[in-house]
């Protein structure tokens, strides 16, 4: 998760570190949704139905599945595919919230978090942000007009890993510090692929041996289902060190695919949200909503309360909306 902008580090990397980059072309975003290639949802929800969007996210938040499979291929996918809620918190500024920061573009990876009822969360990094629709919901056309990605999610860390601390992590931020900024975009985790780990006990033992330093964690590959179970188990032990996990997504920075990726990320947002426990969040979310409305799309703002009942984690309130009509 981005802790600070680290502008000097970016400038230094541009001036003297270019040889550490592998500029191989990245595959463009593989969009899911809008093509009726999956089983249609039993109930569809319009972006104009704020309460319906909240209900959908609460349903996903309270899912108990331990297995996700890609429709049509039978491929095993990580939990991000069909359960829980993938979110990103970000600042407000002279940019659109769905566009990655300069440091994230340099890393080719952007930090998100994943939340679910069985993951102990008391908060997120910043007061406001947005939700990415799950690929399973996009394939089912659950929210008409909202799509998702087949090839964006790369890995998950049980805790905030401060992936932009030194800007020299391979595999879109999923490798250890000092491994260079080699651009390799496929689900990959340093726990299983570099260390040969398979369970949370191994992760916990290594974390202890590294002095519980968050930026020395290993990551689990995004489509390693056991890795997601390991992540939940380890996070719930060390939640006092970090309230949220870190999920790395490709942003296609520095390639011709970036403009397309930015547009597809915009189209993958079914809701903005703000944490009711953090001051200033509503005003930030309202600014995000105005920016989205300026692109011709209305997206609801939801309240996110980690103290509310799990069934009401996300809540829609008419009074919070500032752009677009919500009946």
Name the helix (H) or strand (E) containing 129. Answer: strand 128-132
Contact 157, 189 (CB under 8 A): no
Longest CA pairwise span in the chain (Å): 55
- Report d(CA 141, CA 69) in Å as an integer: 17
Q: How many CB atoms lie within 10 A of CB 306?
A: 16
CB 78 within 8 A of CB 64: no
Residue 277 in this model has a pLDDT that exceeds 90: yes
Within 13 Å and on the Cβ side, how many CA atoms surround 64?
1
DSSP-H helix ranges across 238-293: 258-267, 281-293
pLDDT digits (tens, 9 = 90+) for 187-239: 999 999 999 999 999 999 999 999 999 999 999 999 999 999 999 999 999 99
pLDDT (tens digit, 9 = 90+) per residue, 45-97?
999 999 999 999 999 999 999 999 998 889 999 999 999 999 999 999 999 99
**What are the b/e assignments for 108-119, b being 16+ CB within 10 Å?**
bbbbbbbbbbeb
pTM of the model: 0.90
């Amino acid at each position: 998760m981005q802790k600070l902008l680290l502008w000097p580090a970016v400038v230094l990397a541009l001036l003297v570190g270019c040889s550490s980059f592998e500029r191989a072309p990245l595959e463009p975003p593989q969009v899911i949704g809008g093509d009726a290639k999956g089983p249609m949802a039993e109930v569809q929800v319009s972006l104009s139905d704020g309460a319906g969007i909240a209900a959908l996210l609460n349903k996903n938040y309270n899912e108990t599945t331990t297995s996700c499979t890609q429709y049509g291929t039978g491929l095993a996918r990580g939990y991000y595919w069909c359960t829980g809620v993938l979110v990103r918190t970000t600042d407000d500024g002279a940019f659109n919230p769905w566009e990655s920061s300069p440091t994230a573009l340099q890393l080719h990876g952007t930090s998100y978090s994943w939340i679910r009822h069985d993951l102990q969360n008391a908060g997120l990094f910043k007061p406001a942000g947005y939700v990415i629709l799950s690929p399973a919901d996009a394939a089912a056309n659950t929210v008409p007009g909202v799509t998702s990605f087949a090839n964006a999610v790369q890995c998950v860390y049980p805790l905030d890993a401060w992936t932009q601390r030194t800007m020299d992590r391979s595999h879109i931020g999923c490798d250890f510090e000092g491994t260079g900024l080699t651009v390799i975009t496929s689900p990959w985790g340093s726990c299983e692929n570099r260390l040969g780990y398979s369970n949370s006990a191994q992760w916990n033992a290594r974390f202890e041996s590294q002095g519980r330093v968050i930026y020395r964690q290993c990551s689990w590959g995004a489509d390693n289902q056991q890795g997601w179970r390991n992540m939940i188990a380890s996070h719930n032990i060390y939640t006092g060190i970090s309230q949220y996990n870190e999920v790395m997504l490709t942003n296609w920075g520095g390639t011709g695919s970036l403009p397309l990726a930015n547009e597809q990320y915009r189209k993958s947002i079914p809701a903005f949200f703000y944490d009711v426990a953090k001051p200033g969040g509503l005003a930030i979310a309202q600014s995000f909503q105005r920016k989205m409305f300026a692109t011709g799309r209305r997206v609801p703002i939801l309240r996110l309360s980690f103290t509310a009942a799990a069934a009401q984690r996300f809540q829609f309130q008419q009074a919070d909306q500032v752009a677009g009509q919500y009946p």
